[in-house]
């Protein structure tokens, strides 16, 4: 049996140092993998170290050395954001990436295909100039100080609700911005006037019909009935503009109440909406764990989530994308698609926060559909690089990504200083092939498979050197469901590029938090069985995992058992920044366990010790103990039902002991 460095040693301390840095700004550390929105990406530094621990040439095992995986084939059967295949191709491997959802496949194809930055810049100029020529009249306003016509920066909206006797507009806060000079821009809740500190700057041209309220006002003070959303009208019409924001070359940033010209512009866009040509049937909201929140608000198609201006933007983009050649069209289509996270009426406003004045809260900040009180309508064609604009996204998602891909940069911590290290000789790009035979020669070739990894028909048995992946989280993270928000548009932009119809229930995710794990276990077992088939006899199957639920761990263990894998070793590494918006305050795990598996040989029972109690006090110990339990169960002859019962009993005993300890530490004092 071949021994790899990771079988016996993995520098956890080194991995943690880098992961703790990267987890705060993953998109900065690995910009070429962040072309399009995807969820729960793991740290690229961790996966680079995993792959380096598979390198046989000792001279190339150092993290900062170039290459080491030449003549190797690396598979990620659940590639998601593409971390594994990007890290492996840099190191000279030929890679295979597979995913059920077409978006990861399209993103990998776009970001890995070697195309010059100049070609991409030319394509962007074509699309941007074309959209701007058509739409700039819809994104204009006048400076309230000098009446100069300037590009609109964004519009703030209040959420219209009603009680029995009246209506009100709800906003997160009457504070609109904290200025650098210490002054505050706010809106008067009664008159809707814009104030700077206590001074009135601008008043509405017409007396507002309804007051502004904040979320603390649950019930009407007159009729005592709760305020409710009007579900009988389209979602985008449930918001009403409260402030126009622009930037004047002479008078800088300004906030003003909507004026007649601004309202007329919105009305003209609404008139044009019906001529966009989008069929609501092509944008139907399917039933899913996340999308059910849309159905509850009577949002039956995704078109409702966009203002009329935003739909005009998408219609114009589709027209100009059609003029491009396939690979530049793919890159630009993904750019326009990912811009929707910042250009939908699901976007909230961070202007009332001192640290982030004026920033947009993107649509999926909470990894779910959320519905803001203060909604923000961005200007995607703003000529300046402000938050969520096409120009800003092109720079951050494509230009910076391609520059990094040509000369990948890593961080090195020395004497409490962080230095950048260019990895000379590596490149995050390659050539795509459609046949596995082509991966058996040369370097940096890639094969992409869109479909369920329970059937990897394109890959021969006993042909892959290593499988490195990050399986689905088990429950509550239905990425395919959320991705439909983008998928319906990409299908319009790229109708011939991929398979757009597939069943969400093919995803290896339990549909509810309280599920029994049956679907998760079945699908994961099918994927792991295929992994066992295509993996070479001396190969390694390595993945990261964490979860608080024993059913998730039982499903994972049973999938490994059914596919005849054993655990060689496990390591616990930092993975999550707990300040992240989607997990803050949710008792989230901040570590992953790396499970190093191999095709089963005679089991080394002495390797793993039985654990009676899992240490739940902290994330690291918890993941370490769970990894050891996986090793113990795989090394012994437990049945599927016995494995599930083992995990349930172990967690129950642990919680029972924890509760008993708490009672002993805090005894109840009875009154005499």
pLDDT single digits (tens) 336-379: 999 999 999 999 998 776 765 667 899 998 889 999 999 999 99
- Which CA distances in Å does 619 have to 10, 386, 578, 594, 660? 19, 38, 11, 14, 21
Give the mean model confidence (pLDDT) for residues 660-666: 46
Give CA–CA dist 361/343, Å, rounded: 10
Give CA–CA dist 377/369, Å, rounded: 17
Task: Please state which of the ranges 230-234, 284-288, 466-470, 625-629 shows the lowest mean pLDDT.
Answer: 284-288
Task: Provide the whole-model pTM.
Answer: 0.93
Residue 408 above 70 pLDDT? yes
Residue 658 above 60 pLDDT? no
Q: Which two tokens stand for residue 334?
A: 């993904």
Q: What is the DSSP string of 441-483?
A: SSSSEEEEEES-TT--TTS-TT-EEEEEE----SBS--HHHHH
Instruction: Centre a 10 Å sphere on the Cβ of residue 198 and count the other Cβ atoms it contains.
Output: 7
Confidence of residue 477 (pLDDT cuts 50, 70, 90): low
Contact 573, 595 (CB under 8 A): no
Confidence of residue 206 (pLDDT cuts 50, 70, 90): confident
Contact 83, 45 (CB under 8 A): no
Coil, helix or strand at residue 623:
helix
Give the list of residues 6+ apart from residue 619 with CB closer than 8 angstroms, or none. Answer: 546, 589, 590, 591
Give CA–CA dist 78/80, Å, rounded: 6
Give the mean model confidence (pLDDT) for residues 576-604: 73
pLDDT single digits (tens) 415-450: 889 999 999 999 999 999 999 999 999 999 999 999
Q: Where are the domains of the chain?
A: 5-114+399-601, 118-388
Residue 216 above 90 pLDDT? yes
Identify the pLDDT of residue 348.
Answer: 95
Contact 649, 657 (CB under 8 A): no
CA 400 to chain centre: 19
pLDDT single digits (tens) 153-175: 999 999 999 999 999 999 999 99
Superfamily designation of domain 5-114+399-601: Vaccinia Virus protein VP39 (3.40.50.150)
């Amino acid at each position: 049996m071949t021994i790899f460095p990771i079988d016996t040693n993995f520098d956890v301390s080194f991995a943690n140092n880098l992961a703790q840095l990267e987890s705060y700004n993953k998109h900065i550390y690995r910009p070429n993998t962040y072309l399009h929105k995807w969820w729960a990406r793991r740290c690229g530094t961790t996966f680079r170290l995993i792959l380096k621990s598979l390198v046989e040439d000792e001279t190339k095992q150092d993290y900062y050395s170039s290459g080491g995986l030449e003549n190797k084939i690396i598979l990620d059967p659940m590639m998601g954001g593409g971390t594994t295949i990007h890290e492996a191709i840099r190191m000279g491997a030929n890679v295979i990436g597979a995913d059920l959802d077409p978006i990861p496949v399209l993103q990998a194809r776009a970001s890995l295909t070697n195309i010059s930055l100049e070609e991409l810049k030319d394509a962007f100029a074509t699309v941007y100039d074309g959209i701007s020529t058509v739409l700039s009249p819809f994104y204009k306003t006048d400076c309230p100080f000098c009446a100069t016509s300037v590009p609109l920066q964004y519009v703030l909206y209040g959420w219209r609700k009603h009680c029995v006797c009246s209506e009100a507009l709800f906003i997160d806060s009457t504070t609109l911005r904290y200025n650098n000079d210490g002054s505050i821009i706010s809106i008067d809740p009664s008159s809707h006037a814009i104030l700077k500190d206590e001074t009135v700057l601008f008043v509405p041209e017409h007396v507002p019909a309804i007051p502004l309220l904040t979320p603390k006002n649950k019930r009407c003070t007159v009729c005592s009935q709760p305020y409710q959303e009007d579900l009988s009208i389209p979602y985008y019409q449930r918001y009403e503009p409260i402030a126009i924001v622009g930037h004047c070359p002479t008078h800088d940033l300004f906030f003003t109440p909507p004026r007649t010209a601004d309202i007329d512009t919105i009305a003209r866009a609404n008139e044009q909406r019906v001529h966009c040509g989008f069929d609501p049937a092509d944008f139907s909201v399917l039933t899913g764990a996340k999308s059910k929140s849309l159905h509850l608000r009577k949002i039956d198609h995704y078109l409702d989530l966009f203002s009329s201006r935003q739909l005009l933007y998408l219609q114009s983009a589709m027209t100009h994308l059609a003029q491009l050649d396939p690979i530049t069209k793919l890159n630009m289509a993904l750019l326009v698609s990912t811009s929707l996270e910042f250009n939908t009426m699901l976007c909230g406003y961070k202007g009332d926060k001192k640290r982030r004045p004026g920033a947009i809260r993107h649509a999926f900040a909470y990894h779910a559909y959320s519905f803001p009180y203060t909604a923000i309508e961005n200007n995607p064609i703003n000529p300046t690089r402000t938050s969520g604009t096409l120009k800003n996204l092109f720079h951050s998602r494509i230009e910076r990504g391609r520059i990094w891909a040509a000369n990948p940069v890593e961080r090195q911590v020395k004497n409490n200083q962080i230095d950048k290290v260019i990895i000379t000789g590596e490149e995050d790009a390659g050539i795509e092939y459609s046949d596995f035979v082509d991966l058996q020669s040369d370097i940096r070739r890639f094969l992409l498979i869109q479909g369920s990894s329970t059937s990897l028909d394109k890959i021969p048995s006993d042909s892959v050197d290593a499988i490195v992946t990050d399986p689905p989280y088990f429950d509550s993270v239905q990425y395919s469901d959320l991705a439909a928000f983008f998928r319906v548009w990409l299908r319009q932009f790229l109708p011939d590029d991929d398979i757009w119809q597939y069943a969400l229930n093919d995803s290896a995710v339990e549909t509810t938090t309280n599920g029994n794990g049956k679907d998760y276990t079945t699908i994961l077992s099918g994927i792991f069985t295929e992994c066992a088939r295509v993996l070479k006899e001396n190969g390694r199957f390595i993945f990261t995992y964490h979860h608080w639920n024993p059913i998730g761990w039982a499903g994972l263990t049973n999938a490994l058992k059914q596919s005849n894998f054993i655990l060689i070793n496990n390591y616990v590494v930092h993975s999550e920044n707990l300040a992240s918006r989607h997990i803050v305050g949710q008792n989230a795990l901040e570590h992953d366990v790396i499970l190093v598996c191999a095709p089963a040989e005679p089991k080394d029972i002495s390797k793993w010790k039985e654990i009676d109690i899992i240490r739940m006090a902290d994330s690291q110990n918890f993941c370490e103990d769970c990894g050891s339990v996986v090793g113990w169960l795989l090394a012994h002859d437990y049945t599927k039902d016995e494995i599930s019962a083992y995990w349930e009993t172990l967690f129950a005993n642990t919680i029972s002991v924890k509760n008993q300890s708490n009672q002993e530490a805090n005894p109840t004092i009875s009154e005499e």
